[in-house]
């Protein structure tokens, strides 16, 4: 799985994907398209990092927006207040989110699923209320305005929208590659084992607490990267990015796209953003329409787009095997959590 | 942080009385929401993230009833009964379909409902803050007690919520219905094997939770400003309460709510920026020292 040739193959795929993305603005030379991809990068990384918890670790966080908001504010504040290069602000923000995730995770990760969901939500709302209350630093409910200085680094000028596009697309692909390798590593398989049978893992000498905490920290760090892209996109930070709805949106994205396929959350983020833009264009009653779509989805479909495709593909494979007269044993790939078994 | 202000308050009887009264009111109103969250979780093992929206609806229903009738008692009852009916519909039409589903599905359903309700409230009652106004019955001079000022309405709120708390306690511990609820919390399959329709029991718990939250919304309306989204902070605080008090324990919800109420009212003097942080700190301390909560029996 994680051997050298597959790493080389994945890097090649990533490189091709990046080149394709880099060429696309020449085919679709509209600002709307590049803006969409930048937002998709922010939410795609965010949703995939949430799926590290929900899909791979069975930790159903309802407060992952904490890291999105934290990344957004921390990055914007560092850039506004200290004259540091952008990569330094990036690393500092990741370090801060790791520290926060370490504390929050240490308190939350061993709780049962409902407690975990609620406590993560509660910590997110703690950040939100701090942002609202601490007006001199964060700008309160007006948000951090005044723009973010963007000193060029390594030839990258983020005040240029094509550079920002390339930068975001590159980060999206790099983060996806990194997360893909994490879930394909022995650590990733340990996560799945704990998800499927948390009481068995200790017998194999695994510290469930430590592995879950690690996953929580990794997810938090990637979530913050999503927030940083968002902060660059809007040139500031707003309390809405730390509000609980971001967590709800993240969950809806991964459910829309499918939690069984690695790229499901990114597909879900794309569907969600398209849906979002459509709804805001058509109606002012955003909440009613979006809420209705969510209810239809949760009570009706119950599976994401890629879940349907994966299941369909698996069924066909099985029937092909059966047609050959062999006993088809079900493939031991990731079991959908949404199946509710 | 302003510790000297807190110190000055604690040594002055008038300040202590004023802050204690407002803390009691915050706590007792919170109790009515938290008790519902705790009961629903205890019996159904579902966390109703939308319970804060029940509270919000109660306040808005009461607002409209008060505008129409001008009678505060009718307004509070309208809030309670309206939300009880809403709770029944919510349980039957939506949440009963995801019993036994992963928590994620339940969260998603609640998320959708909260989004819809917040928008519906904006649509029907307008996007601005609404002020209920003090009912004329309570527009009398506040009572002076040891130098502290206590508005008459505050006394009324404290008495009303305490009566409701006692009635709820009696309902759960002394009646046949309470016995069924407690049994369903432990083993619903066994309860249904004994010939009790657990579907009805489940729905009734939502009705009870809705009634409590709606009454709380109606009672709180004169002292709060009404706005879409007012429910979320309440539902988060009620969860902190249930963590501190212990899931499924009504007595625990009462103690937890009062603690939170007092922390909020005194904390707002000493640590205005960190009041929320203080509540979290209390919750974390309880989680670390006694994970099942102060009155909880089982583990997490």
Each residue of B196-205: pLDDT tens digit? 888 899 999 9
Task: Give dist(CA A278, CA B118) in Å, integer.
Answer: 20
Domain count across chain B? 1
Interface test with A, best of B111, B126, B240, B292 (most A CBs within 10 A): B111
Closest partner residue to A295 (CB to CB) among B101, B112, B276 is B112
| Closest residue in chain B to residue A301, using alpha carbons only | B105
**Are the Cβ atoms of A60 and B102 closer than 8 angstroms?**
yes
B113 to A252: CB separation less than 8 angstroms, yes or no:
no
A54/B104 touch (CB, cutoff 8 Å), yes or no: yes
pLDDT at residue A330, as a whole number: 47
Of the candidates B27, B69, B16, B20, which has an alpha carbon nearest to the alpha carbon of residue B259?
Answer: B27
A67 Cβ neighbours under 8 A, 6+ residues apart? A46, A49, A97, A100, A101, A219, A220, A221, A222, A223, A224, A226, A227
Nearest chain B CA: its distance from A22 CA (Å): 35
Residues pairing with B149 in the sheet: B144
| Residue A319 CB-density burial (10 A; 0-12 exposed, 13-18 middle, 19+ buried) | exposed
- CB contact under 8 Å between B115 and A287, yes or no, is yes
The token pair at A255 is: 């459910």
Q: How many CB pairs under 8 A join A and B?
A: 121
Domain-located, residue B8: no
Min Cα–Cα distance to chain A from B104, Å? 6
Cβ within 8 Å, pair A287-B118: yes
- In the numeric block, the tokens 């994490």 are attached to A182
Task: Show the domain range for B165.
Answer: 25-231
* Residue B291, domain member (yes or no): no
pLDDT reported for residue B171: 92
> What span, in angstroms and rounded, lies between the C-alpha atoms of A174 and B227?
43
Q: Does B112 touch chain A (CB under 8 A)?
A: yes
Per-state percent for chain A, helix, strand, coil, to nearest 5: 75, 0, 25
| A54, A122, A302: residue with CB nearest B240 | A122
Closest CA of chain B from A265, distance in Å? 15
Work out the average pLDDT over B118-140: 84
Q: C-alpha angle B287/B292/B294, rounded to 5°?
A: 85
Shortest alpha-carbon distance between residue A295 and chain B (Å): 6
Domain-embedded: residue B296: no
Q: Yes or no: say if A72 and A187 are a contact pair by the CB < 8 Å rule.
A: no
Residues in chain B with CB shorter than 8 Å from the CB of A112 are 300
CB contact at 8 A, B41 and B202:
no
Indicate the DSSP class of residue B131: E
* Residue A338 confidence (pLDDT): 43
ipTM, interface predicted TM-score of the complex: 0.82
Tell me how far apart the alpha carbons of residues B123 and B121 are, in angstroms, rounded to a whole number.
Answer: 5
Q: Which residue has the higher pLDDT, B164 or A32?
A: B164
**Burial (Cβ within 10 Å: 0-12, 13-18, ≥19) of residue B262:** middle
For chain A, what is the mean pLDDT? 85
Determine the distance in angstroms separating the CA of B252 from the nearest CA of chain A, rounded to an integer: 17
* B216 pLDDT above the threshold of 90: yes
| CA dist., res. A41 & res. A233, Å (int) | 10
pLDDT in tens, B143-181: 777 777 788 888 899 999 999 999 999 998 899 999 999
pLDDT at B116: 93
Mean pLDDT of chain B: 87
Contact assignment for A286 to B119 by CB distance below 8 Å: yes
Which of residues A313 and A73 earns the better pLDDT score?
A: A73
The per-residue pLDDT for B34 is 93
Domain membership of residue B293 (yes or no) is no
Answer yes or no: do B277 and A119 touch at CB < 8 A: no
Using the structure block, give the residue that is written with the tokens 């009916």. B85
For residue B7, being part of any structural domain is answered with no
**Alpha-helical segments (H) within chain B:** 3-11, 13-44, 51-69, 72-89, 103-125, 152-174, 176-186, 188-193, 198-220, 230-245, 250-270, 275-289
Check B47 against A299: CB less than 8 A apart. no
Strands (E), B93-238: 130-131, 143-145, 148-150, 225-226
Q: What is the pLDDT of residues A298-341, one digit of tens each?
A: 888 777 777 788 888 888 888 888 877 655 444 444 444 443 33
Closest CA to A246 of A262, A224, A263, A261: A224
Specify if B299 maps to a domain: no
Give the pLDDT band (50/70/90) at residue A217: very high
Note the pLDDT tens digit of each residue in B253-298: 999 999 999 988 888 887 777 777 788 778 878 877 887 888 876 5
Higher pLDDT, A23 or B39: B39
- Among the partner-chain residues A245, A294, A340, the one whose CB lies closest to the CB of B100 is A340
Mean pLDDT of B20-26: 90
H helices present in A297-340, as ranges? 305-323
Q: Which of residues 222-261 of B touch A (CB under 8 A)?
A: 232-233, 236, 239-240, 243
| φ, ψ at A89 (rounded to 5°) | -60, -40
B41 and A CB contact within 8 Å:
yes
> Is B183 a member of any domain?
yes
- Residue A1: what pLDDT? 47
Q: Do B105 and A285 touch (CB under 8 A)?
A: no
| Cross-chain CB nearest to A122 (options B41, B112, B280) | B280
A112, A118, A134: best mutation site toward chain B, by most B Cβ within 10 Å? A118
On whether residue B289 sits in a domain, the answer given is: no
Chain B contact set for A47 (CB, 8 A): none
Q: What is the pLDDT of residue A3?
A: 62
Higher confidence at residue B146 or residue B80?
A: B80
Cα separation, A31 vs A44, in Å, equals: 19
Domain boundaries, chain A: 4-244
Q: Are A153 and A85 in contact (CB under 8 A)?
A: yes
A-chain residues within 8 Å CB-CB of B286?
none
Is there a contact between B105 and A338 if contact means CB atoms under 8 Å apart?
A: yes
- Closest CA–CA distance from residue A125 to any residue of chain B (Å): 8
Nearest CA in chain B to A337: B102
């Amino acid at each position: 799985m994680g051997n050298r040739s597959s790493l080389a193959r994945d890097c090649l795929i990533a490189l091709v994907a990046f080149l394709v993305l880099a060429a696309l603005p020449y085919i679709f030379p509209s600002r709307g398209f590049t803006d969409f991809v930048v937002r998709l990068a922010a939410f795609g990384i965010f949703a995939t990092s949430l799926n590290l918890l929900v899909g791979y670790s069975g930790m159903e966080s309802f407060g992952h927006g904490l890291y999105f908001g934290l990344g957004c504010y921390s990055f914007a504040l560092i850039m506004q207040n200290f004259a540091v290069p952008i990569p330094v602000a990036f690393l500092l923000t990741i370090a801060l989110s790791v520290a926060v995730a370490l504390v929050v995770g240490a308190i939350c990760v061993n709780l049962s699923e409902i407690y975990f969901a609620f406590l993560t939500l509660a910590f997110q709302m703690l950040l939100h209320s701090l942002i609202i209350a601490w007006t001199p630093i964060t700008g309160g409910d007006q948000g951090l305005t005044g723009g973010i200085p963007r000193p060029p680094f390594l030839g990258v000028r983020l005040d240029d929208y094509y550079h920002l596009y390339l930068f975001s697309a590159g980060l999206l692909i790099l983060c996806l590659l990194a997360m893909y390798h994490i879930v394909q590593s022995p650590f990733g398989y340990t996560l799945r084992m704990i998800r499927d049978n948390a009481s068995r893992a200790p017998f194999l000498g695994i510290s469930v607490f430590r592995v879950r905490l690690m996953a929580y920290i990794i997810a938090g760090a990637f979530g913050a990267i999503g927030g940083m892209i968002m902060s660059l996109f809007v040139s500031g930070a707003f309390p809405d990015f730390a509000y609980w709805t971001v967590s709800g949106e993240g969950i809806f994205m991964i459910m829309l796209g499918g939690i069984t396929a690695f790229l499901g959350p990114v597909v879900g983020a794309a569907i969600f953003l398209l849906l979002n833009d459509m709804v805001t264009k058509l109606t002012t009653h955003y909440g009613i329409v979006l809420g209705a779509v969510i209810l239809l989805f949760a009570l009706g479909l119950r599976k994401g787009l890629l879940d349907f495709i994966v299941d369909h593909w698996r069924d066909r494979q099985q029937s092909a095997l059966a047609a050959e007269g062999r006993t088809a044993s079900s493939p031991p790939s990731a079991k959908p959590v949404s199946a509710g078994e | 942080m302003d510790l000297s202000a807190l110190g000055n308050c604690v040594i002055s009887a008038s300040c202590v009385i004023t802050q204690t009264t407002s803390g009691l009111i915050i706590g007792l109103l919170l109790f009515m929401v938290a008790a519902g969250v705790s009961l629903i979780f205890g019996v159904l093992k579902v966390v109703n993230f939308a319970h804060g929206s029940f509270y919000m609806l109660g306040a808005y229903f009461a607002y409209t009833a008060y505008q129409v009738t001008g009678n505060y008692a009718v307004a509070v009852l309208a809030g309670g009964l309206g939300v009880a009916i809403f709770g029944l519909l919510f349980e039957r039409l939506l949440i009963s379909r995801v019993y036994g589903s992963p928590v994620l599905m339940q969260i998603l359903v609640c998320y959708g409902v909260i989004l819809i309700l917040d928008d519906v409230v904006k649509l029907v009652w307008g996007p601005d803050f609404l002020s209920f106004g003090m009912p004329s019955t309570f527009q009398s001079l506040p009572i002076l007690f040891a130098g502290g000022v206590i508005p008459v309405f505050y006394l009324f709120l404290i008495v009303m919520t305490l009566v409701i708390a006692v009635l709820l306690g009696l309902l759960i511990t002394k009646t046949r219905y309470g016995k069924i609820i407690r049994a369903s919390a432990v083993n619903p399959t066994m309860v249904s094997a004994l010939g009790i329709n657990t579907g009805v029991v489940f729905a009734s718990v939502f009705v009870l939770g809705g009634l409590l939250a709606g009454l709380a919304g109606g009672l709180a309306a004169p002292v709060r400003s009404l706005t879409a989204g007012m429910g979320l902070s309440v539902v988060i605080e009620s969860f902190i309460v249930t963590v501190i008090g212990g899931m499924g324990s009504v007595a625990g919800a009462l103690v937890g709510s009062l603690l939170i109420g007092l922390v909020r009212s005194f904390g707002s003097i000493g640590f205005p920026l960190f009041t929320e942080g203080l509540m979290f700190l209390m919750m974390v301390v309880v989680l670390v020292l006694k994970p099942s909560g102060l009155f909880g029996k089982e583990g997490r």
